Amino acid sequence: MKIPFSLRKNKRSNWVLPYMFFLLVFVVAPLVLIGLYSFFDYNGNFTLKHFVKFFTQTEILNTFIYSIVVASVVTCICILIAYPAAFFLSRMNVSKSRILIMLFVLPMFVNVLIRSLATVALFDFLHLQLGEGALLFGLTYDFLPFMIFPIYNSIVKIDPALIEAAQDLGATISQLISRVILPLSVPGITSGIMMVFLPAISTFAISEILTLNNKRLFGSIIQENIMITDKMNFGAALSLIMLIIIYLSLMIERKKGSQEEQETGF
Amino acid sequence: MAESNPFVPLGAADNPAAAGHPVAADNPAPVAGESNKETYIIQVRNISKSFGNKNVLNNVSLFIKKGEFVTILGPSGCGKTTLLKLLAGFHLADQGEIILDGKCINNIPPHQRPMNTVFQRYALFPHLNVYENIAFGLKLKKTPEDTIEKEVKRVLKIVGLTDYEERDVNSLSGGQQQRVAIARAIINKPKVLLLDEPLAALDLKMRKDMQLELKQMHKDLGITFIYVTHDQEEALTLSDTIVVMRDGVVQQIGTPVDIYNEPVNPFVADFIGESNILNGIMKKDKLVSFMGRDFDCVDVGFAENEQVDVVIRPEDIYIMNRNDNAMINGRVTSCIFKGVHYEMAVETENGYELLVQDYNAFETGSEVSLIVKPFDIQVMKKPIVSNVIEGQMLSSTSVELFGAAVECKENNDIEPGTAIRATIGFDEIELMDYKEDGALGGEITFILYKGDHYHLTVTTDNGNILYVDTTEVWDDGDNVGIKFYPDKIKIEKA
C-alpha cells in the first residue's frame, strides 16, 4: 500500500489525526445536521416556520426566558458563595487549601444524575417540597465547583506585591478587595459565568428530577422535541437558537477579556 | 501620625521643632543621654525577626535622620528586605520597637503608616492606567478630583513622564514603569520613602541614569529615603549613610567614604569595592607586620602583637618596575584592562597574591615592585582569632562539639560529663569533599581571599559557625565534611 507523503514520516502533527476524526464525526457533522434540519420541515422542504414558531409560541418563549432567569439566579448564587470561598482558599497555605479544594471537587466524582437523585432523597428526608427551590439548590450544588476554581485561580495569580502596594498606598481591607482584588479577578469570574450559566440553561435531566417535571427548562423542550420523530426539525431549530446565544455570549466575553489573559479553570 | 505631612525642607532636619513635631508627653525618653533623639525620624531599636526557626534579623538598631538618604546594603538573604518590610508594616517584629517621630508604630498597619514603598518589580496595578495608578492613594483618601488631577500632573513632571496619563502601564518600558511607581509613592507626600531594589530590573545604562535622577529627586523633595540594594556601587553613589548588613546583623553604619576607607571588618571590606585582605600582627602603635615584613601605618590603640586584619585597596598600591629598594617585590601574573585602569595580580616573592590597579599596564610576567603608603593601610580588629566551641567531655579521649562526638587527645584531668571549652585554630580543621567523611557536615557560606590562603565561613548542618583557613579552592555553597585533628583540639574546663 502506498502511504501518502504527509503520513510517511511519523510527524508530530499526525498525532492529532485521531482527534480530528473525532471532531469531524461528533462535532462538525452534528452541527451541520442541526443547521440543515433547522431550515427544513419533516418532509424535506425549506422553511423558516420553526423560527417563527419559537418567537410566536408563548409557552416556548416563556420557558426560554424562565431558563435564562433560573440560570442567572443560579449563577449569581454561585458567585456569591464561590467568591468569598475562593478568596479565603487563596489566602490559606497550600497544604490546608489543598484539602478544602479536594472537598469541593469530591462531589464531582459522583455522576450528576446520582447527585440529583440524592438531592431528592435529601429533600424527602427533610420533608421539603421538590420544585423551584430544589431546582435552584440542585443546580447551585452541581455547578458551584465550576465557579470556585476559575475565581480561585485568578485570585492566586494576583502578584502579592500588588496587594502590598495597595495596602502601602493606604487601602483598608475592603478598599483592597474592591479596588484591586475584585477587578483583577474579573477574568476568573467571567470564565466561571461561562461554565455555570450556559450548562444551566440547557440542562434538562436535573430539572426533571428535582421538580418532578413540573418546571421545565429550555433543555427539556429541546429534548422533548428531538425525541419525537416528526418534531425533530423544530428541536434542531431550538438547538441552533441556543448555540447562537452561547456564541454571542462567548463573543461578548472575548471582547471584555481580550486585554487580559484568557483563563479557564480547568 | 494623623497630621498631614508636607514635604519637610532639608534645613528643617536640624531643627525638628520647626517642622512642627510634637514632643510626645506619653513617650518619655527611654534611655538617658539621648537628648537629640528628636532629630531622628525613624528609630529602629533592637529589632529581631525570625521566620520559622530562621533568624532573619538579629537585634538590629538603626537611627535615621529626617531628610537622610539611607541605604541598607548587603548580599541577598542578609535581611535587608525584611527590615524594609518591617518598616512598611508588612511584617511584625518579634522583638524590638520601630519608632517614627517619637511614636512606636509596631502595631500600626501598613495602610496607616505615613510611608510609601517603591517595589522591586514596580507592582503597578495592571488594570489601571498611569493616571489611575498614580491617583490610587489620593482616591482612597477621597481627595477631590481636581486636586488629584493637579497632583498627578505635578508628580508626573517630577519623574519626567508628562503627558503619560492615559497610557496603559503594560505598554511602558521598565524605566518608565519605575518612574510611575515612584510617582505613585511620592504623590502621597510620605514622611519616608522606602525603595526596595528599585533599579535592580533595569539595564546598566538606565540604572546609572536613574541613580542620578533619584539623587536629584531626594534633594528636591527633601523627604527621607530608605533604599535597599545589594549593589555596593549604587549605595556609594546615592547614600548619605550606608548600613551594611550580613546574616541579619548590622556590620557597619557610616558615610560612603567612611565605609569605603575604614571598613570595620573583612566582610565589609570585601563587600564594598575590591580589596586585598591579609592577616597581620600589630607590633606596636603605628607598626603592623604582614606579608613577612613590617609596615608603618597610622592605626593606634591595639594591644601589642595583637592579631589583626589588614585591608589595602588595589588602587592604593603603587606599582613600578623592579627596584631593589622597594618594600615588596613580585611578578605580574595577570593583567586585565578595565576601561579606565588596568587590574593586575602580583605574586610577591614570599608567595602572597595582591590585586593592584594602575593606569599603566605591566605585562604578565614582568618583574615589579610595590609600595604602600602608611595611611593606605587599614588595620581592623579581628573579631575572633580561633574557633571556640562550648561542648562537654564524653570520655578521656572524646569530646562532644556541636552535638557530634569528636576524638581528642587523651585527657584524664577532666571528668567525662564536664562542660568544656575547645579551642581550634582556623588552620587546624580539614574540609572533606563528602559530609559523611567528617565528624560534622556543613556548607561553605562565605569565602574571603587573604593573599595566600582562603578564610572560609562554614555553617554546620546544625546551624553553628566555624572558620577554616585553607589553601584549597572551594566554592560558596559547597557541602563539606568537617574533620578535626585529635591532637589539635585544645581543651579546658568551661
Fold of B387-493: OB fold (Dihydrolipoamide Acetyltransferase, E2P) (2.40.50)
Predicted local confidence at residue B30, as pLDDT: 38
Residue range A58-257 forms a domain whose CATH class is mainly alpha
Looking at the complex, report in whole angstroms how far the Cα of residue B250 sits from the nearest Cα belonging to chain A: 26
B115 neighbors B193 (Cβ within 8 angstroms): yes
How far from chain centre, in Å, is Cα A248? 14
ipTM of the predicted structure? 0.75
pLDDT tens readout for residues A101-148? 888 878 888 888 888 898 899 999 998 888 888 999 999 988 998 999
Predicted local confidence at residue A7, as pLDDT: 55
- Cβ pair A167:B110 closer than 8 A: yes
Record the cell numbers describing residue A108, joined without a space: 464531582
**Which of B108, B125, B128, B177 best probes binding to A when mutated, by most A CB atoms within 10 angstroms?**
B125
Nearest to A183 among B109, B116, B127 (CB): B127
* Residue A256 reports pLDDT greater than 90: no
Q: Which helix (H) or strand (E) covers residue B469, if one does?
A: strand B465-470
pLDDT tens readout for residues B115-154? 999 998 889 999 999 999 999 999 999 999 999 999 999 9
Predicted local confidence at residue A2, as pLDDT: 58
Predicted local confidence at residue A247, as pLDDT: 83
pLDDT tens readout for residues A227-241? 887 788 888 898 898
DSSP, residue by residue, B314-357: GGGEEEEE--TTSSEEEEEEEEEE-SSSEEEEEEETTS-EEEEE
Mean pLDDT of chain A: 85
pLDDT tens, residue order, chain B (494 aa): 333 433 333 333 333 333 333 333 333 333 333 445 558 899 999 999 999 888 899 999 999 999 999 999 999 889 999 999 999 999 999 999 999 998 999 999 999 999 999 998 889 999 999 999 999 999 999 999 999 999 999 999 999 898 898 999 999 988 899 999 999 999 999 999 999 999 988 888 888 888 999 999 999 999 999 999 999 999 999 999 999 999 899 999 999 999 998 899 889 998 988 899 999 999 999 999 999 889 999 988 899 999 999 999 999 999 999 987 788 899 999 999 988 899 999 999 889 999 999 999 999 999 999 999 999 999 998 888 899 998 888 888 889 988 888 888 888 888 888 899 999 999 999 999 998 888 889 999 889 899 889 999 999 988 888 999 999 899 988 999 999 998 888 888 87
List chain B domain ranges: 10-259, 275-381, 387-493
A58 neighbors A188 (Cβ within 8 angstroms): no
- Cβ pair B123:A175 closer than 8 A: no
CB-based contacts of B222: which residues, under 8 Å, 6+ apart?
Answer: B7, B8, B9, B10, B12, B67
Query: Strand (E) positions, B52-179?
Result: 54-65, 69-73, 95-100, 103-104, 115-118
- Cβ pair B141:A170 closer than 8 A: yes
| Chain A residues lying within 8 Å of B135, measured CB to CB | none
B10-259 under CATH 3.40.50.300, yes or no: yes
Predicted local confidence at residue B188, as pLDDT: 92
* Closest-approach residue (CA) in chain B for A183: B127
Asked whether the domain spanning B387-493 has the same topology as the one spanning B275-381, the reply is: yes
* Closest-approach residue (CA) in chain A for B196: A161
Q: What are phi and psi of B300, to 5 degrees?
A: -130, 170
Q: What's the rounded mean pLDDT across residues A163-188?
A: 92
Looking at the complex, report in whole angstroms how far the Cα of residue B115 sits from the nearest Cα belonging to chain A: 8
Q: Which of B395, B387, B409, B397 lies closest to B460, judged by CA?
A: B387
Predicted local confidence at residue B8, as pLDDT: 35
| Chain A residues lying within 8 Å of B110, measured CB to CB | 164, 167-168
Homologous superfamily of B275-381 in CATH? Nucleic acid-binding proteins (2.40.50.140)
Predicted local confidence at residue A243, as pLDDT: 86
Predicted local confidence at residue B73, as pLDDT: 94
List chain A domain ranges: 58-257
**Which of A163, A168, A176, A181 best probes binding to B when mutated, by most B CB atoms within 10 angstroms?**
A168
CB-based contacts of B293: which residues, under 8 Å, 6+ apart?
Answer: B327, B328
% pLDDT > 90, chain A: 29
pTM, to two decimals: 0.78
Q: Which helix (H) or strand (E) covers residue B83, if one does?
A: helix B80-88
